């Protein structure tokens, strides 16, 4: 670091003022143990009004009949920064009684009603699918769950039926809250 000095080699008043202001700023209550965010909605887009890290319990559900699963892994973690929630989910189950398309409920925040669909990255093992089919995942507006579908190479999508078991289902993404 270079100091600003006068012709006699003494720190200038500007440098002393900067040093004192910086010291006071860093010793302020909000910075003594890191930044403290009040987690109160603020309409100003230039204000970071939320920051929260948390874990949650995701649940694999059938969208016709929710059913119940016997889990070997069931974990969710994420953080909210401003109006976005970023997350990762890991699920494995050996039995499931749900019917209909597969959904993952338990996201801690409901997505914004005015937001478009948010795509979610998906990795899976042990979930059957046809040749050329890919699992896609999205979060719809005003929802606190992930919807999963099968998509063909031609782009046609159908709901992914609740599998009786899944070795791994890992989802990560973010959405507007």
Segment 66-83, tens digit of pLDDT? 999 999 999 999 999 988
pLDDT at residue 90 above 90? Answer: yes
Q: Cβ distance 171 to 89 under 8 Å?
A: yes
Residue 66 lies in a domain: yes
Q: Looking at the structure, tell me whether residues 5 and 57 fall in a common domain.
A: no
Q: Looking at the structure, tell me whether residues 31 and 76 fall in a common domain.
A: no
Q: Give this prediction's pTM.
A: 0.76
Between the CA of residue 172 and those of 86, 118, 134, what are the distances in Å?
8, 11, 16
**What's the average model confidence in pLDDT over 16-29?**
56
Q: Looking at the structure, tell me whether residues 105 and 19 fall in a common domain.
A: no
Q: Looking at the structure, tell me whether residues 29 and 61 fall in a common domain.
A: no
Residue 165 lies in a domain: yes
Q: Looking at the structure, tell me whether residues 69 and 11 fall in a common domain.
A: no
Phi, psi of 35 (to 5 degrees): -80, 135
Segment 123-137, tens digit of pLDDT? 999 998 888 899 999
Structural domain count of the chain? 2
Q: Looking at the structure, tell me whether residues 25 and 108 fall in a common domain.
A: no
Provide the residue range defining the domain that includes 14: 1-36
Band (pLDDT 50/70/90 cuts) for residue 49 is confident
């Amino acid at each position: 670091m270079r100091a600003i000095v006068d012709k006699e080699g003494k720190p200038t008043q500007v440098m002393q003022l900067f040093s004192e202001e910086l010291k006071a700023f860093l010793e302020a209550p909000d910075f003594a143990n890191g930044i403290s965010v009040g987690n109160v909605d603020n309409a100003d887009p230039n204000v970071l009004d939320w920051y929260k890290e948390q874990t949650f319990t995701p649940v694999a559900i059938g969208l016709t009949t929710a059913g119940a699963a016997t889990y070997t892994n069931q974990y969710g973690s994420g953080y909210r920064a401003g109006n976005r929630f970023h997350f990762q989910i890991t699920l494995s189950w050996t039995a499931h009684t749900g019917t209909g398309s597969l959904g993952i409920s338990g996201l801690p925040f409901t997505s914004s009603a005015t937001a478009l669909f948010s795509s979610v990255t998906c990795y899976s093992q042990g979930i059957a699918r046809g040749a050329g089919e890919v699992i896609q995942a999205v979060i719809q507006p005003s929802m606190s769950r992930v919807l999963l579908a099968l998509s063909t190479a031609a782009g046609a999508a159908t709901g992914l039926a609740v599998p009786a078991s899944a070795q791994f289902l890992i989802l990560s993404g973010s959405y507007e809250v």
